[in-house]
Structure formats: C-alpha cells, structure tokens
Structure 1
C-alpha cells in the first residue's frame, strides 16, 4: 500500500549536481605503497601560505591545490589531519612524494 505522505521534493525544479563540491570530497589514493586521504581545494580567501613537499615552493591558499595526508603514519601511529600537506596540483599529479 503506498504511503499517504506527499514527497517534499515533488514539484520542485531539478537541481543539477555541483561538480566542484563533488571534486572536493576526500578520497583514498595509494602512492608509493602508502595510502593517503586526498582532497582538492578550489582556493579560498585565506592568507596563509604553505610549502609544497613535492617541489619546496610556496602554495598560495587562494589558488586551487591538493591537500593530502597519510592514513597511518610510520610505525602505525594515526596522525590524522595534523599531518596534512598542501601540494601544487601538478606536483601531486606527477607522482612524487618528496619524502612524505
């Protein structure tokens, strides 16, 4: 027997998926035998600058870039987001880990 409740979405206009938000969802990537959480950032109005572990050059927070951190640190210690590193998109895509 069908439900008597009306759908809240019925009659509302179609809303396409926001691909920018979907691209920023963290995912797990394996690189050099280790697993990393990886998230794309579109850039924000932040004024902080980071150093890319791949090339050693600054990563401006206002430009699109990658944030990555290992699932587990060496010796099995869980480091979590404290081990996050900001990468240039090119540097992360080139496959180098810069000793990270």
Structure 2
C-alpha cells in the first residue's frame, strides 16, 4: 500500500515558526521621500497617499483645505540652519498641483 504524499513542505513549517524581523517604518517611508531644489533652497518632499491622509490641513500655496482622503505632499526644509528637528516641525502639507507649479 502506498501512502499519500503530503503537499506540505516541512521546511516551510519550520520557517513559519521563526520570528519575523521588526519592520523599520522610518526606513520604509523614507524610501518615498525625495529632495528638491527650489529658489536656491533644498526641500524634503514626502508623498502622502489617500489612505494615509486622515487629517485636514491648509495648503500654504492656495490657502484651501487639503481634505482627509486626498493624496498630497508634506514638504519641509532640508537645509535649514536651526537643525532637522526645527525643519521637521515647520513642515507643511501641500496639494500636489500647488507644489508642482511652485505657487507661494
């Protein structure tokens, strides 16, 4: 009598029991961040997806709301003289179109 073959890989079962490495959220999100030059200054530009956009902001270019659920950009100085913490605390949420056309 022949025993039915198991489709289950024993190697996979052992691997499933191993703990997963913790995700580095900062590293993952920084992958989308880019640096742009405007008016002789360097800016960090971080896209925010529709799913990540959960709060209402005011776009500094047009003065209109960036509503929850709307993809947009978070922008802050990359070359500020007061340091990274000050630059990050001064970040602003822009409509993608407003940043692209450079309205200030």
What TM-score, normalized by structure 1, do the two folds share? 0.64
Point out 4+ residue stretches in structure 1 off by more than 4 angstroms. Answer: none
CA shift in 2, pair 1:62/1:33, >3 Å: same
Q: Which has the larger radius of gyration?
A: 2
Number of residue pairs the alignment of both structures matches: 74
Which of 74, 77, 95 is the equivalent residue of 2:82? 77
C-alpha displacement of 1:57: 0.5
Structure with the largest fraction of helix:
2
Q: Any stretches of 5+ residues in structure 2 without a counterpart?
A: 1-27
Which of 38, 43, 48 is the equivalent residue of 1:31? 38
Which of 40, 58, 61 is the equivalent residue of 1:54? 61
Q: What is the alpha-carbon distance in structure 2 between the residues aligned to residue 46 and residue 65 of structure 1?
A: 8
Q: Any stretches of 5+ residues in structure 1 without a counterpart?
A: 1-20
CA contact 2:53–2:68 (8 Å) conserved in 1: yes
C-alpha displacement of 1:45: 6.0
CA contact 2:53–2:71 (8 Å) conserved in 1: no
RMSD: 2.2
Q: What is the alpha-carbon distance in structure 1 between the residues aligned to residue 55 and residue 40 of structure 2?
A: 31
What TM-score, normalized by structure 2, do the two folds share? 0.62
